[in-house]
Amino acid sequence: MCKVLRLELISTFKPVFSTVTNYKRKILCLFDTGATMPVWCKSEGLFHVVFPDAELLEKKFLLSGFGKVAEIVDVYKIPVFYITDGDSTLEFRNLHIATSFNRDFGCDLVLSYTMFTHVDYAVRNRNKNVSTLEITYDRDVYDN
């Protein structure tokens, strides 16, 4: 049976929504179909508050596309990451996140296209006061 997350977009020019992590921290996420890996954009301190169980991996990621020259950044593994609309929850396990600390990009976390290859998604703009990102999925947990 399919489930649907309906996430209210809080930006009129980017698909940005809020979610609550499994540690009850509210964060802003940008749904980016051009990204190949999720990227944390805020401070390192906040990253460790939001994801206290994050594990630094012995791998690096070449990050580009932020309007700066490409840079090599650290990659962390997040054991459990949730996206929730309050009614439904989509869970990603062992999510790898590149970190580019202290960027002012209008969100805390950029979510990559690669996270959503096994679900359907659409932005609903017509006949609504507020646009929504709808994610339709078959199972509650996806392992990356």
Give tens-digit pLDDT for 100-119: 988 878 899 999 999 999 99
Q: How much is the pTM?
A: 0.92
55: β partners: 77
Segments of the chain with pLDDT less than 70: none
Write down the number of H helices and E strands in the chain: 1, 11
Sorted by sequence, the CB contacts under 8 Å of residue 117 that are 6+ apart come out as none
Q: Give me 111's structure tokens.
A: 């979510």
Alpha helix ranges (H) inside the chain:
44-50
- The per-residue pLDDT for 81 is 95
Say what the pLDDT of residue 103 is.
81
Residue 10: per-residue pLDDT = 92
Looking at residue 128, its pLDDT comes to: 73
